[in-house]
Amino acid sequence: MSLHEAFWSASLQEWKQGYIEQEEHFMCLLCGEQVEKGIIYPVEDVLYEASRFIRHHIEVTHGSVFTHLSQLDKRLTGLSDHQVNLLRLFYQGKTDAEVQNEMGIGSASTIRNHRFALKEKERQAKVFLVMMELLHEADKQQSSNDAKSSKQKNNSKDGDVTEYAAVVKKFLPNGLSGRLERFPRKQKHKLILLEEISKKFELDRLYTEREVNEILEGLYDDYVTLRRYLVDAGLMDRQADGSQYWRIAVENEGEERGAQQMNRKQELKQMYKEVETDAGVYQIKNKQDDKVFIASTNNLKTINGRKFMLQHGSHPNRQLQKDWDKYGPDAFEIEVLEKVEKKDHPYFDLKDALEKLEDKWMKKLTPYGDRGYHVQKDPS
């Protein structure tokens, strides 16, 4: 699952804490950083378990979840700059008089009116959230019923071969090599079509999310929705974090098929666990003037999460964010500079090795002034 999808799919509680728990990791919703479970992380003289270390990461890197959310684009928050400034001051515990004095507007009673307006907005948001939750529950129930119905009927083609062929011909006249312009309205026809589309994927093969998207994009513009439909219909399954997808066969219904699927799922999970993640140093380079921003991460697979931060105006390096907003994403490239060479002995310290590798590249590229986005520390 990409950072963008993980962020918008998270619950309110997960948003408040700033991270989600996955099978093998804790993932920061603000930047995509992943912290592997089962590892003790040393921070100065303190040892942190993974769940505590991800909270430490959020505190150090982002300040707080509130700070990060308040920096998002107004198109996402629905708040004006004025309202965001008020909320920041309220969050700091300022009194109405202190807020009025700091912002230089109206009087203390004016600030009270602003508080009332924000509470009204909160009530409206709660009503909307409840309505959307009920809608999602209804959709989920419908999808569950559809999946059960599909399984009970064994295979749509077996039930009515003529109808199956007619539906496929109508909506995919050129077969799977053509384009799907629209979905049928009838749920039964939709399931037939999804079953046919699932054949674009090989059985007993793992696909990354990017590979799934590329295959489906060649068939339908809204490939994200199409991917979700395939999962909801029980024709594809995926890891909890969305990193791996696989097709589910529709043959061999009943207990035998269920046992086969369970065994296959366990096998795929084991394969996923065996895929190692690389730690290393990367750079974000402005192709307009060759200025670079250098950073390190325990998992290089998450570096694209920095794009998410930049796209939402919340990257902690303000000069980099300013240039990103000015030149646009096409003016930048993200490149891995070097991976940490892991040592297979009990005294190997990944965190220390990563810090030394980052320091090496900082000295090599000297990304200060006209050369980069870092501020050189005073040697004193």
What is the CATH number for 343? 3.40.1440.10
pLDDT value, residue 125: 87
What pLDDT digit, counting tens, does each position of 329-359 carry? 899 999 999 999 888 777 788 888 999 999 9
Assess whether 242 and 170 both reside in one domain. Answer: yes
Assess whether 243 and 304 both reside in one domain. Answer: no
Decide which of 13, 45, 71 is a domain's last residue: 71
Range with lowest mean pLDDT among 145-149, 159-163, 293-297: 145-149
Would the pLDDT of 373 be above 90?
A: yes
Q: What would the mean pLDDT of 197-220 be, rounded to a whole number? A: 90
Q: Is 115 within the bounds of a domain?
A: no
Assess whether 192 and 269 both reside in one domain. Answer: yes
Assess whether 266 and 188 both reside in one domain. Answer: yes
Q: Which domain holds residue 313?
A: 280-371
Would the pLDDT of 119 be above 60?
A: yes
Decide which of 71, 105, 124 is a domain's last residue: 71
Q: Which residue has the higher pLDDT, 59 or 161?
A: 59
What pLDDT digit, counting tens, does each position of 245-289 carry? 899 876 543 344 445 445 555 555 555 455 457 889 999 999 999
Assess whether 298 and 367 both reside in one domain. Answer: yes
pLDDT value, residue 291: 95
Assess whether 262 and 179 both reside in one domain. Answer: yes
**pLDDT band (50, 70, 90) for residue 135:** confident
Assess whether 319 and 366 both reside in one domain. Answer: yes
Residue type, 345: H
Q: Are strands 41-43 and 34-36 parallel, antiparallel or unpaired?
A: unpaired
Q: Is 20 within the bounds of a domain?
A: yes
Q: Is 17 within the bounds of a domain?
A: yes
Would the pLDDT of 88 be above 60?
A: yes
Q: Is 11 within the bounds of a domain?
A: yes
Would the pLDDT of 216 be above 80?
A: yes
Assess whether 298 and 213 both reside in one domain. Answer: no
Decide which of 222, 239, 273 is a domain's last residue: 273
Q: Is 91 within the bounds of a domain?
A: no
Q: Is 238 within the bounds of a domain?
A: yes
Question: Up-side HSE of residue 178: CA atoms within 13 Å toward CB?
Answer: 12
pLDDT value, residue 289: 94
Q: Is 266 within the bounds of a domain?
A: yes
Would the pLDDT of 161 be above 90?
A: no
Q: Is 126 within the bounds of a domain?
A: no
- What is the total count of domains within the chain? 3
Assess whether 268 and 285 both reside in one domain. Answer: no
Assess whether 209 and 317 both reside in one domain. Answer: no
Assess whether 253 and 164 both reside in one domain. Answer: yes
**pLDDT band (50, 70, 90) for residue 379:** low
pTM assigned to the model? 0.46
Residue type, 202: E
